[in-house]
Structure 1
Amino acid sequence: MRVGIIGGGQLGRMMALAGIPLGLRFRFLEPNEDPPCASVGEVVRGAYDDPDALDRFSDGVDVITYEFENVPVDSAKRLSERVPVYPPPMALEVAQDRLVEKETFRALDIGTAPYRKVDTREELDRAVEELGLPAVLKTRRLGYDGKGQAVLEDADSVAVAWERLGGRPLIVESFVDFARELSCLAVRSRSGELRVYPLVENMHTDGILRESRAPAPGITAERAREAAALVERLLDHLDYVGVLAVEFFETDDGLLANEMAPRVHNSGHWSQDGGGVSQFENHIRAILGLPLGDPRPTGWAGMVNLIGGIPSRGESLGAGGARLHLYGKEPRPGRKLGHLNVRADTLEGLERRLAELGEIAARHGEG
Structure 2
Amino acid sequence: MSPHRTPSAAELEQRRIIGINAETVTHGASTDFPGHYYGEDHSFSIEEFKRNLSIEVHHNTPHDLSFSLVGVDASIANALRRILISEIETLAIETVFVEDNTSVIHDEVLSHRLGLIPFKGGKEGLRDFLKEYKKPGPGEDPFATSFDWNTVSLSLNVECTYNQDAEEGETDLDMLHNNRSVYARDIVFAPNGRQAEYFSGENAIAPVNPDILIAKLRPGQRIAVEMHMHKGVGSDHAKFSPVATASYRLMPVINILRPILGDDAKKFQKCFPEGVIGLEKVTRKEAAQVGSGYENHEGEDKAVVKDAMKDTVSRECLRHAEFEGKVKLGRKRDHFIFGIESTGQWDSDELFLESIRVLKKKCLAMERQVVFMAR
Q: Which TM-score applies when normalising by structure 2?
A: 0.22
Structure index of larger Rg = 2
More relative contact order, 1 or 2 (CA 8 Å, 6+ apart):
2
Larger helix fraction of residues:
1
Q: Which TM-score applies when normalising by structure 1?
A: 0.22
